[in-house]
Structures are given as structure tokens and as C-alpha cells.
Structure 1
Amino acid sequence: MTTTPFNPPSIAELQARFRPVFARIAEGAAAREHTRTLAYEPIAWLREAGFTRLRVPPHFGGLGASVEQLFALLVELAEADSNVAQILRPHLGFVDRLLIDRDAATQARWLPLAGQGAIFGNATTETGGGTVGELQTTLVPDPERPSGWLLDGRKFYSTGTLYADWVTVVARTVVPGRADETVHALVETTAPGVERLDDWHGFGQRLTASGTTVLRQVRVVEDALIRFPRQQPTPLVAYFQLVHLATLAGIARALQRDAVAYVRARKRVFSHGSATLPKDDPLVQQIVGELASTAYLAGLVVRDVAAELGRIARVRVAGEDVSKAELDALELRTAQAQVAVAEPVQRAAARLFDVGGSSALAEDLRLDRHWRNARTLASHNPVVYKARSVGDILLNDAEPVYYWNVGVAAP
């Protein structure tokens, strides 16, 4: 039997497919932000167009796009609406986690669902007084079903889960006589005992549904537990960080776009200005040039890291191992990229308002959303820690930190 060789789509073909959807999403972005209308429609448009299947291999129903193509498109989506790009971060990361870890049985279980359009959300982080590294969310054996489990816990920062069909819950198994084990439990978001709350209260990324997921006696079957390798070097940390950076790069492009549109349409000038039209004022031109330069730099950095991630992905798909030195270098590069991008984009988002007067503050424009969203993205993994890590690696040959936790330090 012969098989037809797969010809991967070109970036031009993918852009032609998705740019009309991105444009449609961009049209309503400011209004959704202003009225806090959750992005159910944009997510449905992207699912229908196949965006959620981008990285799924064709034999599982996906488009088979490369890592580089994914991140190029993600920047464009973030330019249209950074909330929507952030919503899909857990889903995109879950798909690539399956590809990175290369477990054939797990891929065969879950990638076909993604290929059919299923979206996966996230329930990882816990708030409150829990000890650093100790999960409060537990899985215990189900007394009524052999090989079954009961899941209980409460998560926050559950990005995208309101829009998802399945949620990946990080939990620890508790079995008498056995050591606890950290696993990923996949449950349907409509399963009995799963409650999703729209209680995200951050001032940015307001539409990402990054609030609470409550799990009460949720039944989980054994083959819905995934045991990913832990405490080993992985490209996945860089991948998840790059999603943030691609979203910041998209915000930078949106700043350039909105500044140009605002200035071109503006007729009013200040008496102490330098031209009869704002677009001819050298100071305004300088600001727009600075915004465009930040967008260029951010996009360049994302492409650089994506190229190395893509190379590593292809090596692993070919069945070859990637050395620790290569993964360490990738993690260092990604940390440097975060430091290089996060603060300049935030400065550009604040600088945007210098191109005009008080009319730039109009609620219907919602230009403030760019700064709020950039600031929120930069707060997820604080830049100061990444900058310190870079310095420690370069000065002391320190090991990159691939896994970290949040909680209360033990006394």
C-alpha cells in the first residue's frame, strides 16, 4: 500500500486562511474589552477555521504546521486581540507537550480529539497558604470503580478554561502505602463536579477567563492521567514563555497600528506644536517611529526563539535526542528574550498616548487595554527573576530553572 506524502502548508497559505478571521476578531476587540464581552465568538471562529488544529499532525486531523509558522500566526492573532491569543496558550501548549514527549499511546489518545477541534484549558496553579511545591489538589482511588480516581481541588489562573472542552488539572495522587505522584488529569469541563468561575479580577487580560476552577469528587479514568517527565530539561518551558512573548509582540504591532490610525485621522493640533497637522509634527513622527521599532524588535526576537524551538522539535520528531547543552542554551535564549521584550513593549504602550491629546483617552478606543494587557502578561513570570537567572548562568555557570512553583515558604 502506498501513502500520499504530506506537503506541509506554506506560511503564505496559512496567512491566507487565517488573516480574514484575524481581521474579523480585530474589528470587535476594543468593544469586547469595553463591555467585557467574553470571546466565545472569536474562539468559535478560530476553531471553525482550524487554528486550534495548527500543530496537530495531519494523520490525527490537523494541519501539520511548524513551530515557526504557529508563532508567526500567533503574533498576528495577538495583534488582533491579545486576549484571544492568551486564551489559547494552554491549548497550544498541551498539543506541543504531547508532541515533545513523544509517547505514542498518549498521542493516540488525545491528539485525535484536538484534530476534531477539541480545546484544552488549564487548571494548574493554586492560591492561598499552601506550601511551595505541595499541591492541595488530590486524586484518590475511587472505591466504586477499579482503576478509577476521584479528583478534588481548587485552582486559579485557569486561563481559557471557560472556552475549553477539556481541562488539564495538575494534581497529586494519594494512595495509602505509596509515594504521592504529580500527574496531569484530563477531565471534560462539563463533567459532574467541575465548576468554572468567571472571577478573574486582574486589570488586564480581562477576557481570558483566568479565574477559578473548582473540582469536587470528579471521576477520572486511569487513561485520562498523563505522567509527563518532571525535573528534566525540556523545551516546553521555553515554548510556554514564547507564547507570552508572541502575545507581547502582537501588542507591539497593535500599538503601531493604532498610533498610525489615530494620528492620520487627527486634525487638531496644539498651538505650540510644530506642524499644521499632527502627522507632520516631527515629535509625533518620532514617537510613531519608536513604537514601530519596538514592534520590529519584539517580532525579531520571537522569530529567533521560534526558529530554535522549531529545530529542536524537528530533531525530536525524527526520533533523535536533544542534548542538555542545547536545551540549556534554548532556556537561556528565551530568558534573554523575555528581558529584551517585556519592558520595551510596556514602555511603548504608555508612550502611545503621547501622539495626541485627551481624545486618545476615549473609552470607546480602549487604547489603555494595550498597556494593561502587556503589564499583565509581563507579571506572570516576573522579568526580574529571568534577568537574575541570565546573570547567574553567565557569571557562575548556574543551571537554568526548568520547573518552579508558587506558594508559601516552609518555616
Structure 2
Amino acid sequence: MPHPLPASPFAHAAPAFSSLAERFRPVFAQIAAGALERERTRTLAHDAVALLRDAGFGALRVPHEHGGLGASASQLYALLIELGAADSNLPQILRAHFGFIERLHAEIAPSRRAPWLRLAAQGAIFGNAAMERGDGQLGRYRTTLAPDGAGGWRLDGEKYYSTGTLYADWIAVSATRTDDGSPAYVLVRADAAGVDRLDDWHGFGQRLSASGTTRFLDVAVPDEHVLSFSRTDPTTVTACFQLVHLATLAGIARAIERDAAAFVRRRKRVYSNGSAPTAAEDPLVQQVVGQLSGVAFVTQATVGAVAAKLDQVDTLRQRGEAVPDALLQDVELDASRAQVGMLDLVLGAAGRLFDVGGASALDAAHQLDRHWRNARTLASHNPAIYKARIVGDHAINGTAPTYYWSVGTRAA
């Protein structure tokens, strides 16, 4: 049966992709130019985020009437693939931002959206503070939101995996209300008193994504900064968050092809048992690069196929029509199928890349290992084994997918 999502404020057609590409590709080129140096020195990508902010990248999915660019979902994810090819940290840094914008469209009452959409149009970046480390109970946050007795709230707690929050102006925080035990969704200024953001992400990949600790100590929260949404109804939000990871992986696949071809073009040394006088003419090397190109094509097409389903949802929202549960289920399952199908392809390509050269391809100056490290890190999020099980359960038994899930220990 149709699912009555809040009506979308979109009222104008999306801009031409060519105009968006003309606007952002020079920015992507600037970001790509500094990517290796940032990776070598582990320099946080503040300059790159500032370039995107100044160009209005965070306003892509904000409707025209709120000052944004009004881009479609397909356009957003196509651009995220290009950005991921330039530097795979950047799409992940902005994942929480675009997930928040989608949540506004999909789950938040229209009367509560406008101020946040206007902030995004003006350049504000939204970060994430949802997950917690340790042995907290499944489905319940140890971070608390308590009434302050004066019509507002006080936020206390500690989060990890706070991706992008070091670069953000606002942080979307998941907490538990102390008055009734229900989950709360809280917007906090990143520079508010009592907020402490740490650069302590120790993963071997996506090292500049700022996915570390965020602490909240007695942070004052006005009531209008506490939003609510259903956590049981079908939604597009989960798929959108996952699709940012998949677009980043598709961008990595493009970067693998690019870097392999560039390495071969400039390579002078050959093996006596090789197949041609130069690496560039060697049919075996050409075959490897062709296979890498195939992975880049397939992954980009896969992301585009899921994004096209999100465009269908947008079309119904624009018309003020209810979105059928069947379409929302298709979006969620397709995002899961894409995740299951893409991961081995990209990880395999990241290893196969080294077949185009000898030991010189291992030189740290090239940073070619970053593609595998970053892809492996992205592949570890939202474990694919569970997504595969959900897809298989649906194929066999018709079981509906899970749209909301949490991490923690099961209650005794």
C-alpha cells in the first residue's frame, strides 16, 4: 500500500547535469591535485571541504525555493563518484550531510524542514554523531537528552565513528530522552559550549574522514533543534546513506583505472619475459587495465541504477503523491544488492592494480595501496554479510528488509 511520506518542497526541475559538471569539475581537479600529499602526511582535508562549501556542493539536494541547486538524486551520486575518484575521503566526509538532507525530505514534517534547508543552502555542513563504542544495549543510546526545566534540553554523552564532524558546522546527534526513554534526533552547533571533537580515528583507511570521537557535556539544546521521525516505517534514508559508500567505491574504481593507466604510460622498464618492448604495448598489461576499466564501468552503472529508483521517489514527492511501500522496498533491496555485488569487484581491482608493474608499483610515493585500504574500510561499514542475508531471505521467503538497525549488545 502507498506510504504517506511528507510532501517534498521540490517545485522545479533539476538543473542540467552539464551545468553542474561545469561548476564542480574544476573543484574536483583542485582536490585531486592535493590528494596524494594529504594522504602521505595525513593532513586533514579542511581546504578541500572549504572548496566544496564555497562552490555550493552541500546545497545540491536543497530545493531552489530554499536557495539550493535542486539537483536530482542521480546527479548527486554521479558527482559523488567523480569526487570519490578525486579523493575518496571527501564523499565519506559529506555522507552525514547528504543523509541529513534526505532525512529532511523523507521523514521530517514540512513545517520543521525549512530552517535547516536554508542553512545548507547558505553553506552549512552537517556532521554525524550516532554510533557509540562499547557494550551499550541494542536499540538504546547511552547519550542522553534531558529536559532543563526551562523549555529546553541538555545533551550528554560520547560518540565514535563521527564521520565528517571535525569539518562540520552542525552535528546530528542520536540520543535517548530521559523523560520517556524514546530516541531523539538532535541538532547541535559544532562549536557549542560543551562539544569536544577529537581526531582519533585509527582505521588504516579513509584516514582523513574524521570518523573519531565526539563528546557532549551539558550542551544546551533549544526545543526547536530536537526533531522526530518514525523509526518503523519504510524509508529511503538507509539506502541513501549506503549509496554514498557505494558511490565512493565506484569513485575508487575509477581512480584505480586512472592510476593504473598513468603508471603504465610512464613506465620504461620491462621484463625480458614480457610480451612487448614497452609496458604500454604489452597485451597482458593492456588486459589488466581493461579489466580495471570494466570494474569502474560496472560499479558506476550499478550506483546509477539505484539512484534512478530514488529519482522515481522524488518524482512522486514532487507531485504530492504517496510513495508505495513496494518502491521503498525496491530502493532498500537494490542498495543492498549493489553493496553485495560491488565489494568484491572493487577490492579485487584494488589488488589487481599491482599486476601492471613490478616492485616499483609498491613505492609509497605512488600511494597506490590507498585504494585497497580505503575500499576495504568502506566495505566494512554496514556489514555486507548481513545485507546478503536480508536479500536472500527476501528472495526465498519474501521477507521485508530492515530499514533501521543499531549496534550494541543484546539485553540479558
TM-score range, shorter chain: over 0.9
Residue aligning to 1:34: 40
- 2:265 equivalent to 1:259: no
Query: 1:161–1:196: 8 Å Cα contact kept in structure 2?
Result: yes
Match of 1:109 among 112, 115, 127: 115
In 2, the alpha carbon distance for the partners of 1:230 and 1:133 equals 11
Contact 1:87 1:209 in 2 (8 A): yes
Q: CA deviation at 1:117?
A: 0.4
Q: Are 2:153 and 1:152 aligned?
A: no
Measured in 2, the distance between the counterparts of 1:349 and 1:339 equals: 17
User: How far apart, CA to CA, are the structure 2 residues paired with 1:317 and 1:224?
Assistant: 26
Q: What is residue 25 of structure 1 aligned with on the other side?
A: 31
> Which residue type is aligned with residue 203 of structure 1?
F
The structure 2 residue matched to 1:163, chosen from 167, 175, 193, is 167
Counterpart of 2:361 in structure 1 is 360
The residue aligned with 1:54 is 60
SS at match of 1:46: helix
User: Residues 286-334 of structure 1, C-alpha deviation per residue, up to 9 Å, x if partnerless?
Assistant: 1101100000000000110000011102212322111112211221111
Residues 112-166 of structure 1, C-alpha deviations (whole Å, 9 max, x = no match): 11111000000000010111112100011114xx211110010000000000000
Do residues 174 (structure 1) and 175 (structure 2) align?
no
Structure 1 counterpart of 2:250, one-letter code: A
Distance across 2 between alignment mates of 1:390 and 1:181: 30
Which letter does structure 2 place at the counterpart of 1:153?
Answer: G
Measure the CA separation in 1 of the matches of 2:393 and 2:12.
44
Question: What is the CA distance between 1:253 and its match in structure 2?
Answer: 0.3
CA distance in 2, matches of 1:351, 1:303: 25
What is the SS of the residue equivalent to 1:214? strand
Distance 1:400 1:6, change over 3 A: closer
Say whether 1:284 aligns with 2:285: yes
Deviation at 1:109, TM superposition (A): 2.1
The runs of 4+ residues in structure 1 deviating greater than 6 Å are none
| Total equivalences in the alignment | 402
SS at match of 2:407: coil
Q: Could you state the TM-score of these two structures normalised by the residue count of structure 2?
A: 0.96
Q: Percent identity?
A: 56
Q: Which residue of 2 aligns with 1:198?
A: 199
Residue 378 (str. 1) matches residue 376 (str. 2): no
**Aligned-pair distance for 1:285?**
1.0
Counterpart CA distance in 2 for 1:117 and 1:314 is 26
Instruction: State the shift of 1:6 in Å.
Output: 4.8
Task: State how far apart, in whole Å, the 1-side matches of 2:58 and 2:19 are.
Answer: 16
Q: In structure 2, give the amino acid aligned to 1:195.
A: D
> What is the letter of the counterpart of residue 301 of structure 2?
L
Distance 1:402 1:198 in 2: 30
Q: Pick from 15, 19, 24: which aligns with 2:21?
A: 15
RMSD between aligned residues: 1.1
Counterpart in the other structure of 1:137: 143
Specify the alignment match of 2:87 in structure 1.
81
1:250-303 Cα offsets, whole Å, 9 max, x none, are 000000000000001101011111111011112111110110000000000011
8 Å CA contact retained: 2:140, 2:183: no
Residues 161 and 167, structure 1, Cα contact 8 Å, conserved in 2: yes
Does 2:110 correspond to 1:68?
no
Q: Which runs of 5+ in 1 are unaligned?
A: none
Contact 2:107 2:235 in 1 (8 A): no
User: What is the SS of the residue equivalent to 1:153?
Assistant: strand
Shift of 1:7: 5.6
1:102 is displaced (CA, Å) by 5.3
- 2:380 aligns to what SS in structure 1? helix
Determine helix, strand or coil for the equivalent of 1:203: coil
Cross-structure match for 2:184: 183
Contact 2:108 2:228 in 1 (8 A): no
C-alpha spacing 1:238/1:6, structure 2 compared with 1 (3 Å): closer
Structure 1 distance, partners of 2:207, 2:92, is 11
Alignment of 1:209-358 (within 5 A): 209-358=210-359
Alpha-carbon contact 2:13-2:70 (below 8 Å) kept = no
Provide the rounded CA distance (Å) in 2 between the counterparts of 1:142 and 1:102.
24
Contact preservation (8 Å) 1:100, 1:313: no
Using the alignment, how far apart are the partners of 1:232 and 1:330 within structure 2? Answer: 14
The whole-number CA distance in structure 1 between the counterparts of 2:320 and 2:43 is 45
Q: For 1:116 and 1:129, how far apart are their aligned partners in 2? A: 39
- Paired residues of 1:153 and 1:214 also in contact (CA < 8 A): yes
SS, match of residue 192 in structure 1 = coil
Shift of 1:71: 0.7
Describe how 1:386-405 pairs up with structure 2 within 5 A. 386-405=387-406
* 1:76 Cα deviation after fit: 0.4
Amino acid at match of 1:377: L
Alpha-carbon separation, structure 1, partners of 2:331 and 2:69: 26
CA contact (8 A) 1:78 1:246 kept: yes
Q: Secondary structure at the match of 1:9?
A: coil
Paired with 1:231 and 1:62, the residues of 2 have a C-alpha distance of 30
Find the aligned partners of 1:114 and 1:304 in 2 and give their Cα distance: 27
Compare 13-22 and 401-410 and name the one that shifted more.
Answer: 401-410
CA contact (8 A) 2:108 2:227 kept: no
Distance 1:10 1:75 in 2: 17
Aligned residues of 1:31 and 1:364 also touching (Cα < 8 A): no
Q: Secondary structure at the match of 1:380?
A: coil
